[in-house]
Amino acid sequence: MSKVIAISNQKGGVGKTTTAINLSSGLSYMGKKVLLIDLDAQGNASQGLQAISHRGQKTIYNVMLENAPIEEVIVHKTEPHIDIVPANITLAGADLELDKIGNGKEQVLKNSLKAVRDQYDYVIIDCPPSLGILNTNALTAADSVLIPVQCEYYALEGVTQLLLTIRLVQQLYNPDLRIEGILMTMFNITTKLSVEVSQDVRQNFGKQVYQTNIPRNVKLSEAPSRGVSIFEYDISSAGAKAYGELTREFLRRNEGR
């Protein structure tokens, strides 16, 4: 049985892509078959894993808006083995174009995924920083949502709005959608604010919040420029330890081990 997880938060720069890349890699190292879907026109996940190699390369745009078979777009990465459906700037116009489809425009990604989802243990979707139709497509295709929350003052405001969106998608398109977990990112143990925000989120969301906090760690921001995950970039870094721990916690929750 495969599970589709959307990594979503409409707030920009909270660690969605960093989590998508490093959780996908962590799961692959644990022997899981992983498909990573880049659903952001910024293409950060694709660049961060060197999945875009030439101009005119087919991407998720061609799959969702031109019916290109998803198998033809998948990039197979090794060490660790991750299959990637890349994105690039062409996706920027997708919101408007999807809107024109009218009926069923929220189900496009879900339908595109049908052909391949069963080949994977986990399908991870890196969502864009907005609550537009692409994000709705991700939430409609997903079994659960993983919400990264940056340890800063306005953190919870965005989450409240995202939870309303999730409830709406549950009512309209995907009644089985669950919260996978809330992940505190860019945690800095030496600042009072980080500690307070983390405590506040834990008080509000209890067990939904992962025990693992992702620390602010410069190695995590450097790894994408080398086109690798944190595990190949610096296995001894605090970032690698944290994403390794998150991967184990994720698997304990999902597979009870």
Please, what is the end-to-end C-alpha distance for the chain in angstroms? 17
Find which of ligand ATP, Mg ion, none residue 221 binds, CB within 5 to 8 Å per kind.
Answer: ligand ATP
* 24 counts as binding Mg ion under rule CB under 5 A: no
* 185 counts as binding ligand ATP under rule CB under 6 A: yes
DSSP 8-state class, residue 192: H
* 16 counts as binding Mg ion under rule CB under 5 A: yes
Find which of ligand ATP, Mg ion, none residue 212 binds, CB within 5 to 8 Å per kind.
Answer: none
Nearest to 69 by CA among 77, 58, 57: 58
User: Is residue 16 within a helix (H) or strand (E), and if so which, with residue range?
Assistant: helix 16-29
* 22 counts as binding Mg ion under rule CB under 5 A: no
Q: Which is nearer to ligand ATP, 40 or 180 (CB)?
A: 40
Name the token pair of 166. 């999730």
Q: Using CB under 5 A, which of the segments 38-46, 80-88, 194-202, 244-252 binds Mg ion?
A: 38-46
**In whole angstroms, how close is the CB of 18 to ligand ATP at the nearest point?**
3
In the shown chain, the binding pattern of residues 28 to 67 toward ligand ATP, with x for contact by CB under 6 A and - for none, equals ------------x-x-x-----------------------
Name the token pair of 252. 């304990």
Q: Which strands make up the sheet holding 178-185, listed edge to edge?
A: 75-77, 82-85, 34-38, 122-126, 3-7, 144-150, 178-185
> How far apart (Å, rounded) are the C-alpha atoms in residues 129 and 14?
9
Q: Using CB under 6 A, which of the segments 66-74, 93-101, 115-123, 217-225 binds ligand ATP?
A: 217-225
Length of the chain measured in residues = 257
| # residues contacting ligand ATP (CB under 6 A) | 18
Contact residues for Mg ion, defined by CB under 5 A: 16-17, 44
